[in-house]
Structure 1
Amino acid sequence: MQLRAGEVLVLSTAVGESTGSARVQALFKVAAPALWSVLGDCQANFDFVHGLRECEVLTESENRATTRQRVKRGLFWRSLDYSFETVREPHAWIRIRLLEGDLKELEGSWRFDPFPNGEALLVTHEIRLRPRLPAPAWLVERTVRRDVADMVACLRWHSGGSPDSEVARQDRQRCPD
Structure 2
Amino acid sequence: MNKLIILCVALILVQGVNGQRFMSKNAYVKFYSYTPLEKIEAVNNTAACVIDVATGNVELSALNTSFQFKKALMQQHFNENYMESSKFPKARFKGKIIDMSKVSFDKPGTYKVDVAGELNMHGVSKPVTVPAVLTVKDNTTIMGEAKFNIKPVDYEVKIPSLVKDNIAKEIEVTCKAELKKV
Q: Verify same fold: TM over 0.5.
A: no
Greater relative CO (CA pairs within 8 A, separation 6+): 1
When Rg is computed on C-alpha atoms for both structures, the one with the higher figure is 2
Structure with the largest fraction of strand? 2
